[in-house]
Amino acid sequence: MILLIGLLAGLLVGLVLGYWRKQTWKVPSLRHTWLAIVAFVPQLFAIYIPGIRTRIPSEWASVSLIISLGLLLVFCWLNRKNWGMMVLAAGLVLNLSVILLNGGFMPISPETASRLVPEEVISTLESGSRFGWKDILLLPEETRLAFLADHYLPPAGFPHQVAFSLGDIFIATGAFVMMALGSRHSPVPSNLLPEETLC
C-alpha cells in the first residue's frame, strides 16, 4: 500500500513538474525490468494469493520472500545511476536485515497487530505465530532490530489500516523520487524542426 502511494504521488508530482517546466514526462528508463517482474513472482505465489499461500509451508514462504528481496536488490544495483532507486534499495536492505534476523518474516508486535484485527484474535495467537501475509508475531523484547519491524500505522481514521516499517518508508520514498523525476524531454522549438514536419 505505501509503495503504491509513493508511486502514484511521484507520478502526480512528475506530471505537474513536467507541465510547469514545459517538459514531457516519460516513464523512468530502467535496465533489466524483467528482473523486477521475476523478483515479484515468489511473493505473488507465497504471500499474496490466498488460495495458494495457505498451502505453502511457512519455511518455503520465508525463503521465497528472502529470494524476492534479494533479486530486487540486484535490480536496484543494476539501475544504481537512478538515485531514487538507491533510496529504494536502502529500504530493501533494512527490511531484509530485520527479516533475516527474525526467522525469515517481518516481525510485528501484538500491540501493533491489535490495531489491524480484533484483540480476541491476537489473544489466540502465540508469540512466533505467522501473522498476515509476511509478518510474524513477536514481542518487542523478543525482536532483533525492533525499530525496523512493522510498527508504523496510518492515522486512525485512514480507511485502510496496514502496518509498515522504516524500510517501507525508504522504499516508498525511493519510488516517489524515481517517478517524480522520471525521464523528461524538452519540446523541440518549431524553428528547429525539419521543414517537412512543418507542412
Instruction: Tell whether 197 is covered by a domain.
Output: no
Cβ atoms of 167 and 148 within 8 Å: the answer is: yes
192 part of a folded domain:
no
Give domain status of residue 194, yes or no: no
Phi, psi (deg, nearest 5) at residue 183: -125, 110
* pLDDT tens sequence across 35-84: 999 998 877 776 667 666 667 788 888 888 899 999 999 999 999 999 89
- Domain range for 75 is 2-185
| Domain assignment of residue 193, yes or no | no
Look at the chain and report how many structural domains it folds into: 1
Question: What is residue 182's predicted lDDT score, i.e. its pLDDT?
Answer: 80
- What's residue 43's pLDDT? 76
More confident residue, 187 or 87: 87
Is residue 95 in some structural domain?
yes
The widest CA-to-CA distance across the chain, in whole angstroms, is 76
pLDDT 10s digits, 150-169 = 999 988 777 778 899 999 99
The dihedrals phi and psi of 85, each to the nearest 5 degrees, come to: -65, -30
User: Is 189's pLDDT higher than 60?
Assistant: no
Question: How far is the C-alpha of 147 from the C-alpha of 198, rounded, in Å?
Answer: 61
Are residues 181 and 84 in contact, defined by beta-carbon separation less than 8 angstroms? yes
Residue 199 lies in a domain: no
pTM of the model: 0.85
| 47 located within any domain | yes
Alpha-carbon distances of 191 from 29, 81, 97, rounded to whole Å: 29, 34, 55
Whether 12 maps to a domain, the answer reads yes
Of residues 191 and 63, more confidently modeled: 63
> According to the 3-state scheme, what is the secondary structure of the chain?
CHHHHHHHHHHHHHHHHHHHCCCEEECCCCCCHHHHHHHHHHHHHHHHCHHHHCCCCHHHHHHHHHHHHHHHHHHHHHCCCCHHHHHHHHHHHHHHHHHHCCCCCEEECHHHHCCCCCHHHHHCCCCCCEECCCEEECCHHHCCCHHHCCCECCCCCCCCCCCECHHHHHHHHHHHHHHHHCEEECCCCHHHCCHHHHC
